[in-house]
Amino acid sequence: MTVTTAPAPTGTERLPLAKAINAGLRRALATDDRVMLMGEDIGRLGGVFRVTDGLQAEFGTQRVVDSPLAESGILGTAIGLAMAGYRPVVEIQFDGFVFPAFDQITTQLAKLRYRSKGLLEVPVVIRIPYGGNIGAIEHHSESPEALFAHTAGLRIVTPATSADAYAMIQQSIASPDPVIFLEPKSRYWDKGEVDLSGSGVDLGPDGWRSLHHARIVRPGADLTIAAYGPTVATALAAAQVAQQEGHDVEVVDLRSISPIDVDTLVESVERTTRLVVAHEAPMFFGPGAEIAAAVTERCFHHLEAPVLRVGGFHTPYPAAAVETEYLPSLDRILDAVDRALAY
Instruction: Rule CB under 8 A: choose which of 4, 62, 244, 315 binds other proteins.
Output: 62
- Nearer to other proteins by Cβ, of 170 and 258: the residue is 258
- Scanning the chain, the segments in alpha helix (DSSP H) are 17-31, 55-59, 71-83, 102-103, 112-115, 145-149, 162-174, 231-244, 262-272, 287-299, 323-326, 330-341
Interaction of residue 263 with other proteins, rule CB under 8 A: yes
Least separation in angstroms between CB 82 and other proteins: 8
Buried b / exposed e across 33-51, counting CB within 10 Å, b at 16+? bbbbbbbbebbeebbbbeb
Least separation in angstroms between CB 268 and other proteins: 16
Long-range contact set of residues 298-304: C-beta below 8 Å, sequence gap at least 24: 298/262, 298/266, 299/266, 299/269, 299/270, 299/275, 302/269, 302/270, 302/273, 303/269, 303/273, 303/274, 303/275, 304/273, 304/274, 304/343
Strand 155-157 versus strand 179-184 pairing type: parallel
Q: Which residues are CB-neighbours of 70 under 8 A, at least 6 positions away?
A: 100
Interaction of residue 204 with other proteins, rule CB under 8 A: no
Least separation in angstroms between CB 165 and other proteins: 21
Interaction of residue 59 with other proteins, rule CB under 8 A: no
Q: Could you confirm whether 301 is annotated as catalytic? A: no
Q: Is 258 helix (H, G, I), strand (E, B) or coil?
A: strand
Interaction of residue 209 with other proteins, rule CB under 8 A: yes
Interaction of residue 87 with other proteins, rule CB under 8 A: no
Beta bridge partners of 65: 38
Catalytic-role residue among 140, 212, 247, 279: 140
Interaction of residue 104 with other proteins, rule CB under 8 A: yes
- Nearer to other proteins by Cβ, of 104 and 329: the residue is 104
Interaction of residue 16 with other proteins, rule CB under 8 A: no
Interaction of residue 100 with other proteins, rule CB under 8 A: yes
Span 232-261, contacts to other proteins by CB under 8 A: 258-261
Interaction of residue 46 with other proteins, rule CB under 8 A: no
Provide the 10 A C-beta neighbour count for residue 14: 11
- Nearer to other proteins by Cβ, of 119 and 137: the residue is 119
Is the torsion defined by CA of 250, 192, 143, 315 positive or negative? positive
Interaction of residue 5 with other proteins, rule CB under 8 A: no
- Nearer to other proteins by Cβ, of 5 and 12: the residue is 5
- Write out the residues near other proteins by the rule CB under 8 A: 62, 67-68, 70, 72-73, 75-86, 100, 103-104, 107-108, 111-121, 152-153, 155, 175-177, 209, 212, 258-263
Would you please indicate which residues are annotated as catalytic (active-site) residues? 140
